[in-house]
Structure formats: structure tokens, C-alpha cells
A and B are shown apart, each in its own frame.
Chain A
Amino acid sequence: MSLERKKIPTYLGYLATAFLLAFPFVYSRADYDFIMHLWITAFYYAILASSWSLLAGYAGQFSFGHMAFMAIGAYGAALYSNYIRFVTNPTGTCTEIPFFGQYLIILDAQGVTSASNSCLDIARETLPRGTVITQPSVWTGILIGVLLGALFGFLIGRLVLRLRATYLALFTIGFSEILRAAISAEIDITQGQAGLELPPLFPVGIFGYAPTDKLPTYYVMLLVFIASMGIMTWLVNSRFGLFVRSIREDEEAAAALGVNVVKYKVRVFVITSTIAAAAGALQGHYIGIITPNILIILQMSLVIAMAVIGGVENIYAAAIGAIIIQFVLEFLRNSFDIGPFVIDMSIWRLVVFGLILMLTLRFQRNGLIQPLLDWFSRSDVAAETVAIRQQESIGEPGGGEA
């Protein structure tokens, strides 16, 4: 009986996965594109919220720099697709590196307003006939973004080893803001607030779907979501999860018991920032344009709020929380009137959301989803404790007063 109850969330998980896999083919209402868009965005937030919960909830590293890693992934992919080309003959005008029989060229930064031709445009006139210029693959760009995310995760993870709690929060806010300022200021390269454009995930479409169709992107995002949940599930159930939780509880005690604190703290930063960077790179290609605003502090608070309201100490709770909140927020956009007052729901929904965040923290610390999951997995523990005690009729040595 108790064993079966423990399995229920797992079965529900399989059911939900099956539902999500089938959804694009089953659903056929008129708002198909809109709903698909919501799902894609929901997966994106779920990846971010769950990976943040691994970092903050499991490892106790309350970082506010998660969106910075996401942005590193997105900008890594965007810069790659904007500035890298492959040419079969040397151009003579661009920075170029021989690359497996071709030439990898780096276009020069153009700026927002500059109308002058790029080095490639100039070279085009002199290049011999039959020269092929290829756009780089979207997937290589994503891979580069992800690797950059991992690299920065490693560096930041190393730097913050000594910082705890508030100091860590301040440092990561600082890192995030420096990155944002740099992206905003280096207009020549990043186009600043005007935004950097990215090609769609499938620039020429796939399986007969047009590049703008949501369905392929839906599946890519869903698969990345499932994969990241799978990896994180494996991690939290392995020694990694055990050790990072012991570090969260008591770093010194964990070290005294032989846990390599430095290694696992750095690893958790690398892993979560890699996942965040992957989400960022995919979302960047899906939306088609990225601006420095993707890493403003309010975006970060949105992800934190999703994870906290779901339950920060459980990656599933955080992911489910993110999906539900994303849908609820979208459907609360419609404004309405009360007498003479127009209630602008696009803002008020966020006010309410902030209030719910605070109240959840205060009165339902483990979030709203996590207790539900705990009910399935842990409700029999108390009964078991009592049963074993009675069965073995051993007194409670540590103090019957407990």
C-alpha cells in the first residue's frame, strides 16, 4: 500500500510526459500557435527554475546570477551565428583562419547604425566564381553557448567558494549587472538595446514544417527539458545529490566527514549554469532576438519566485511550479474595469504574484507543490518509526522528551 503510493508521482510523471509528447498532435483549437508558444516558454522557465532549485535548494548556493549564465548561452549562440561564416576561398579582407579545407572568417563588428559594408561584402566582389559562403550551423552555436556557460559557471563557482548567504547573493547580483552593462555598452558587437538577431532553430524548416512553425521548437525544448530533468534526477539521487545537500546543511561538518566541498560546490555551479545556458541559447533562437533585458533582475526574480512557490528543495516541484505560474500569468493578462477604475492586469498580476511569493515564503516555506510530492513519498515515515519502535520495544535513548 505505502509502496504503491510512493510510486504514484512517478506514474503521474510518465503520464504527463506522454501527454506533453502527444499534445501538439492532439490539440487543434484556433489558438494553437499561442498555446504552443506558452508551452515552449513554460518549458524554458521550468528548465531555469529547476536548475536554480538544484543550485539553491539542494546545494544551498543562493545565487542571483542564474540568468547571467542563461544570457551567456544565448549571446554565445547569437554572436556565433552573427559573426562566423565559412568560405571556400580566402577573402583577404576579413579575419580568417583555415578550417578543414575552408576558411572560418570572423566578420567585423558593425554597430547599430553603420551602413558600411562588412568585410565579406567587400570581398564578395573579388572572390572567385563558385566560392561558397555558408552560415554556421545553429547547433554548433548552441553548443558553443552551452560550453561558454559551463566555463563561466566554473570560474564563478571557483570565485565564490568563500562567500556565504548574503555575500554570495550580492556577488552574483554584481556579476549579473556587470554582464548586463557590458552587453548594453558594447553596442558595436551586441547591438545593445536594439537586440541581436538569431536565425530560427531550423533555418530551412524540418520534416515539412516551416521555420516559423512552433511544433519542431516545441519538441526540441521539451526534449531538453526532459533531458535536463533526467540528468538532474540522476544527479540528486547519486552521491552528488547527497554531498551537495550535506554541504548545504553544514559545510564544515561535511568536510570533516570526507566530502570534497570545493569540488562539489564548483561542480554544482558548472552543471546548473550549463543547463541555464542551454535554455538561453534555445530560447534565443526561438524568439529570434535577444536584448540585455533578458538578464534584468526582475527576470531573475521571476525564476526565483517560480522555484520558491513550487518548492525550492525539489527540482520537480520547482519545474511544475514554473509551468503552472507561466500559464496562470499568461491567462491573467486580460484587463477589466471595476466601476471607473481600469484594472491593468498586465501589471496587477505581478503585484499579486509578488504578494503570493512573500506569503508562500512566510507561511508555506516548502512551496505549494513540494508538500504534495512529500505526501506521497514520506507520509509513511512517521507510522514506520512508531511501528518499528513498538515491534522492537526499544526505549528511546536519546530522550523520551523529544
Chain B
Amino acid sequence: MEFGYIFWWTLLWVIGWGIIGNIVTPRIYLRRDLDVSQAGLVGASVGAATGPVGLIPLWLRTPQLSARWSVIPGLLVIVILAFAFAQADPDNLCVASSSFIYSQLSNGIVIGIIYGLMALGLTLIFSILGVVSFAHGEFYMIGGMVVYYFLNVWFEGSSPIMAILAACLVTFAIGVIFERIFLAPMHSGEVERPGEYAILVTFGLAFFLQYLVQATAGANPVKAQRFFDFPQYELTSSSGAEIITTTRGNLSLFDAVSIPNPRFTAALIAILMLILLLIFLYRTWVGRGLRAVSEDRQAAAVAGINPATMNTLAFGLGGMLAGLSGATLVQVFSWLPQVGVVASARSFVIIVLGGMGSLPGAFVGGLMVGLFEAAGAGCIPDPTRAAGYIPAYGMIILTLVLLLKPTGLFGREL
């Protein structure tokens, strides 16, 4: 497929002005004795979005900046690139078929919610323990495995809800046990150089869990049946146009959007859990304790909250959230002991993008990555090669965010 130069030139133009904005803007702000903390980022995004048209007024007027200034230009960049893409490749399914676009969008959102849930677990752990768990994907993998074995081997024909609860229980228990044995000594000062230790020991856990599951469950891919069937239903408007149609395995809206049943139920469960989590964090005493510890560890300890308990709880809960996303997704994707690796990587991307330790950031980041993946999977020309790069897209985002704005979109200042 001939892929137009127009797209690559646009990309080059955007990147070029982004770099110019990133380098020049802070210098101008510095020379005028103004706050430069946001200047690099805003300069980069304004430059990328508008080129000299936006940059020159910015340089001349040098307004007071906040992180919000980079959001609109950032969105504009996406629009520009999408437009250039459409110009360059008008026959592409993503450009030509609106129903395909809607389906990809809705699927991206649906899967993004679940990614968000998983990343929420990781960010919860980070905000309370100050640790990035490199074994997060393994919890996800185990969650899915437990559901599969529960439904297909141990208790055939039992309710999927029981299986999901079992997955939560198992992953929560693994998290709690691991935290007690390996991470608790870190916070009581028993372990030297806790930062390095946490990285290595969670890495060790990932290695251990992955091979443990492979040794016990084998290396063949498994996949659970879909949990529930949709009731058959059809709703048409007075003019005879379709509004909602469901079959057992699919849901379609306005004859344009089609969401497969497993994804839909997975997202539904994820939203439910999210609401429960928010209620837990904001309405219960324990949840408030958790948030207090994440805000200020010492102050919370003075106020009578035992940080050690909160650590354990947070790690267990974080692992459980990953396990839960795995449990809901085992009916969507086929499952291997290795699926955790990609899931871990994706969670890293999300929390770095959203800002380490930020709960809303994790959720928004999850949605963005979900949409991004849907767009990437559907729209990129030269499919075989593009598919090969799919694992890299997230990592490119990750490395760029780390280099340009390590605090992410919603992150606290370091």
C-alpha cells in the first residue's frame, strides 16, 4: 500500500515545531524572569499544534502558564494528524467507514475502562507504598487463570460471579502474603536501599509467578466461555430505523456501533467495581485511612492510622484490581502464563501517562491507551508490519512522557 508522503511530512512538521517550541520557549521565559516550570511542555504542544502561528504570539506575550495550556494544543495535534492521515490514505477503513470508526471508538472505550481499572491497582500501590510493582501483570494473568480453572475444571457449570470472586480472593491473598513477607520489612527499616530492593523483589515475584503458573497450568492458551448471554431484544424507532439490537453474543446500536458481549460485560463489571472502589475509598473509614496515608504518611500515623496495615491492604487491593481485570478479560482474549508481561507493560504506560500515583490519571490514561490501541489496530496501513509494532506504541509513549514530563498528565510534582 502506498502511504502518502503528506502524512510523514505533517508528522515531521509537527515534531520539528514541537522540538523548537520545547527548546526556545523556556529560554524566553527564563530571560523575562518568569516561571519556566511549564514552559517546555506548553511550548512543545503549542509548537506541535500550530507551528509558528501559535508560538510567535506565545513568545511575544509570554502569558502565565499552567499545565492546562498544553491540553487543547495536544488534542489539536491528534486532530491534525488524523486529518493528515485521512488525506494521505482516503481508502483506509478508518477513514471511509463511519460505522467502523464508531465501533473502534466504542470498543476502545470499553477496553480502556478495564485497562484503567487495572492501572488503578498499580497506582494505588504506588501512591501508598511508593513502589511500582513489576509483578502487576502477573496478578492480572492469575486472575484470568483462576476464572478459567474455576469455570472449566474445578467447578464446572458454576456461576461466573463465584469465579470472579474467587479470582479476587486469590489475587488479594497473594498480594497480602507477598507484602507481609517481602515488602513490610522495607518500611520498618529492616531492608537497606528500599528503592532498589522494591524494584528487584517485585521483578522476582513476576518471574516466580509466571513460571509457577506455567508449571502448574501448562503453556497452552486457554479461553473462558462468555459469562452471560444478552437477552434477545430489538428496539426500532418509529421510522423503522434500528436503535438497539442484541443477539446473544453481540450488541449493536443505531446500526453503526457493534460491541461484542464479552467486552460489554467485562466493562460493566469493571464499572461496577470502580463504583464500589470509590465508595470504599471515600465513604469508609478504612478507605479514608488509605487516602490519608497516600497524602502524608507521617501525619496519618500520628492520627492513629497504622501505615503498615494500610500498606498490606493497598498491595492486596492493587493486586486484586489487576486480578479482577484479568478475570473479566479471560472471556475476551485467550490466556497464557505470559499474558502478564504485556499487561504489566501496558499498566506502566498508563500510570506514567496519567501521572504516577494519581487515581483519576490512571483511569483517563487507561481510556486513552484503550482508544489508542483500537485506532492502532484498525487504522494503520501495512497491517503485518504495523501489528509487529503494536507492543512498541505504548512504550514509545512511555519513554517520551518520562523524558518530557515525568509527572504525567495528572501527576504530583516530584
Contacts and interface: CB of A to CB of B under 8 A. Distances in A.
B341 A362 contact: no
Given A177-B392, A361-B197, A170 B352 contact: yes
Given A163-B402, A170-B348, A361 B204 contact: yes
B208 interface: yes
Interface string B186-226: 00000110011111110111111111101100000000000
Chain B interface main SS type:
helix
B345 interface: yes
Nearest to B403: A159
Contacts of B384: 187
A181 B203 contact: no
Contacts of B391: 177, 180-181
Given A187-B385, A354-B208, A171 B392 contact: no
Interface in A345-402: 347-348, 350-351, 353-355, 357-358, 361-362, 365
A4 B118 CA distance: 57
Chain A, interface size category, equals 35 or more
Interface in A50-80: 56, 60, 62
Chain A interface main SS type:
helix
A362 B185 contact: yes
B396 interface: yes
Given A173-B348, A304-B200, A167 B207 contact: no
Interface string B378-406: 00000011111111100110110011001
A177 B388 contact: no
B181 A181 contact: no
Contact of B195 (A165, A178, A357): A165
Contacts of A60: 196
A177 B388 CA distance: 11
B406 to A, nearest CB: 6
Given A62-B199, A187-B388, A177 B395 contact: yes
Contacts, number: 132
A348 B212 CA distance: 7
A240 interface: no
Interface string A170-191: 1101110110111011110000
Contacts of B212: 351, 354
A348 B211 CA distance: 7
A170 B388 contact: no
Contacts of A159: 403
B201 A174 contact: no
A334 interface: no
Contacts of A275: none
A171 B214 contact: no
Contacts of A351: 208, 211-212, 215
Interface of A: 56, 60, 62, 159, 162-163, 165-167, 169-171, 173-175, 177-178, 180-182, 184-187, 192, 296-298, 301, 304-305, 308, 344, 347-348, 350-351, 353-355, 357-358, 361-362, 365
Given A60-B196, A174-B348, A308-B200, 7 more contacts: A62-B199, A163-B402, A170-B398, A177-B345, A177-B392, A358-B201, A358-B204
Q: Which 5 A-B pairs have the closest CB atoms?
A: A185-B388, A354-B208, A181-B392, A354-B207, A174-B395
Interface of B: 131-132, 134, 181-182, 185, 191-192, 195-201, 203-212, 214-215, 341, 345, 348, 352, 384-392, 395-396, 398-399, 402-403, 406
